């Protein structure tokens, strides 16, 4: 869903992401890196073209949970990825064996929710719609005159009417259209027909719709489908505190060491008057340096990402112009920008994979820091998202004693 300041207040759900296959390791790495940059909490993907074994390879880095439905390595496939820092105790998981849908129910920030990821057939199939509950990529436009350019009334009428009836029966609403009533945008570009259409939807109930902060359509960066993202505020926000530690690799940079010395010198010049208690001065210095280091790291990350962010902004501009006034020249510029940006992301992914292989080859099966980090990364985070009162005799003191007795098996995040 979209940009989030704190996972305690909002969560990002990239709802529609048709990929047309991610069998290639470089493409998978590009996708996971891009989603990490977008700070996504829950990702719904269609057309993964992965087997069960290949789907499990997506569970790495920031991905804590993955639920999927596979068909073959060349067709269909859907998956739901959940960030490891997002508390989502699963209740039930339902999926088919045709790679068409996966449905989840669980608790998100104490609220019982339903999430469905669907890849509908390209042609109308009555048996598919008779058994289905919720969708994502429906392969049809709800309003051809508005959701398709150039507009046509002959595209998939049966699928459109069935989808509308489904929404009416379940009282579901088109989240993007209601959030952006005056905006005209599309999620899919057909290169052979040079046409745009909005066939990727997120349908939600009125209760969820009232808490949507933002809903937008992205760019066609990694696929011929653009991602649909949405920011939703939980009904019961849970404020969390996270421990911070400086990046030790920064100490290897002479510019950072110089910056740190200047900050310490400036702090002492303004605060050390020979009367301030040394303990207070030391604690204040640590808080000051923390802010300075975070500011320095953010500036360096922004500078390093500038090479990628500028082409992304240019790609978004060209796409918006193409949707309004398409031309051959503009299409060539769009393709050139897309190709250069895709090449840049591929180079980064290939370098990351090569570095990982080199690091694993050097360490081999030796126990050390690398093995410890890999094991720590695989440990599931199990925060306590809700507390259930069993009976009236349970009081606060007994609850604390119970938690202390089980602290060896619980990982509680404050």
Number of domains in the chain: 2
The Cα-based distances of 305 to 36, 242, 299, 317 in angstroms read 13, 25, 10, 18
Give 171's pLDDT tier (boundaries 50, 70, 90).
Answer: confident
**Which pLDDT tens digit goes with each residue over 387-412?**
555 555 555 555 566 656 555 444 44
Q: Is residue 187 part of a domain?
A: yes
Nearest to 47 by CA among 67, 17, 15: 17
Domain co-membership, 261 together with 321:
yes
Among 68, 109, 137, 186, the active-site one is 137
Domain co-membership, 255 together with 176:
no
Q: Is residue 374 part of a domain?
A: no
CATH number of the domain where residue 190 is located: 3.60.10.10
Q: Is residue 375 part of a domain?
A: no
Domain co-membership, 171 together with 309:
no
Domain co-membership, 67 together with 202:
yes
Is 225 assigned a catalytic role? yes
Domain co-membership, 197 together with 312:
no
Q: Is residue 4 part of a domain?
A: no
pLDDT at 385: 56
Among 71, 119, 129, 201, the active-site one is 119
**Mean pLDDT value across residues 94-121:** 83
Domain co-membership, 183 together with 292:
no
Q: Strand, coil or helix: what is 196?
A: strand
Q: Please give the annotated binding residues, written as ranges.
A: 47, 137, 139, 224-225
Domain co-membership, 44 together with 136:
yes
Q: Is residue 143 part of a domain?
A: yes
Token match 């068909």: residue?
Answer: 71
Cβ-based neighbour number of residue 17 at 10 Å: 29
Is 10 assigned a catalytic role? no
pLDDT exceeds cutoff 90 at 100: no
Q: Which domain holds residue 296?
A: 248-369
Token match 């959701």: residue?
Answer: 147
pLDDT at 103: 87
Is 119 assigned a catalytic role? yes
Radius of gyration from C-alpha coordinates of the chain = 25
Decide which of 232, 256, 274 is a domain's last residue: 232
Among 200, 225, 296, 338, the active-site one is 225
**Mean pLDDT value across residues 158-182:** 83
Q: Is residue 155 part of a domain?
A: yes
Domain co-membership, 335 together with 202:
no
Q: Is residue 259 part of a domain?
A: yes
Domain co-membership, 132 together with 278:
no
Least confident of 8-12, 36-40, 306-310: 8-12
Is the overall model pTM greater than 0.85, yes or no?
no
Domain co-membership, 195 together with 56:
yes
Q: Please give the annotated binding residues for Mg(2+), written as ranges.
A: 47, 137, 139, 224-225
Tell me the torsion sign for CA atoms 349, 350, 353, 354: negative
pLDDT exceeds cutoff 90 at 67: yes
Give 192's pLDDT tier (boundaries 50, 70, 90).
Answer: confident
Tell me the pLDDT of the chain averaged across its residues: 77
Domain co-membership, 202 together with 287:
no
* % residues pLDDT > 90 (the chain): 7
Q: Is residue 389 part of a domain?
A: no
Domain co-membership, 203 together with 310:
no
Q: Are 103 and 128 a contacting pair, CB within 8 Å?
A: no
């Amino acid at each position: 869903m979209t940009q989030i300041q704190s996972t305690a207040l909002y969560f990002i759900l990239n709802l529609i992401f048709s990929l047309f296959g991610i069998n290639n390791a470089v493409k998978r790495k590009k996708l996971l890196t891009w989603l990490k940059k977008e700070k996504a909490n829950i990702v719904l993907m269609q057309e993964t073209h992965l087997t069960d074994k290949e789907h499990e390879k997506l569970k790495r880095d920031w991905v804590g949970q993955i639920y999927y439905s596979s068909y073959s390595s060349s067709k269909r496939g859907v998956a739901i990825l959940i960030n490891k820092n997002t508390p989502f105790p699963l209740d039930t998981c339902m999926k088919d064996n045709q790679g068409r849908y996966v449905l989840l129910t669980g608790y998100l920030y104490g609220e019982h929710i339903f999430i469905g990821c669907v890849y509908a057939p390209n042609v109308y199939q009555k048996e598919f719609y008779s058994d289905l509950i919720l969708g994502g990529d429906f392969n049809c436009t709800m309003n051809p005159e508005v959701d398709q350019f150039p507009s046509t009334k002959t595209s998939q009428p049966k699928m459109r009417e069935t989808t509308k009836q489904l929404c009416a029966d379940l009282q579901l609403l088109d989240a993007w259209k209601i959030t952006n009533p005056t905006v005209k945008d599309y999620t899919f570009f057909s290169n052979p027909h040079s046409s745009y259409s909005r066939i990727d939807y997120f349908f939600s109930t009125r209760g969820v719709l009232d808490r949507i902060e933002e809903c937008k359509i992205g760019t066609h960066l990694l696929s011929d489908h653009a991602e649909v993202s949405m920011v939703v505020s939980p009904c019961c926000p849970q404020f969390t505190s996270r421990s911070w530690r400086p990046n030790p690799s920064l100490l290897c940079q002479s510019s950072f060491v110089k910056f740190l010395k200047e900050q310490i010198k400036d702090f002492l010049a303004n605060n050390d008057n020979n009367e301030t208690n040394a303990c207070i001065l030391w604690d204040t210095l640590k808080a000051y340096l923390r802010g300075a280091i975070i500011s320095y790291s953010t500036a360096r990350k922004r500078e390093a990402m500038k090479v990628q962010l500028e082409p992304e902004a240019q790609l978004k501009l060209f796409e918006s112009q193409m949707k309004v006034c398409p031309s051959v020249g503009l299409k060539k510029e769009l393709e050139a920008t897309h190709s250069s940006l895709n090449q840049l992301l591929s180079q980064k992914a290939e370098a990351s994979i090569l570095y990982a292989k080199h690091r694993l080859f050097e360490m081999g099966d030796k126990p050390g820091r690398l093995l410890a980090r890999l094991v720590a990364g695989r440990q599931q985070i199990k925060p306590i998202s809700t507390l259930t009162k069993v009976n009236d005799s349970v009081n606060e003191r007994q609850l604390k004693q119970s938690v202390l007795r089980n602290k060896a098996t619980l990982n509680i995040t404050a």
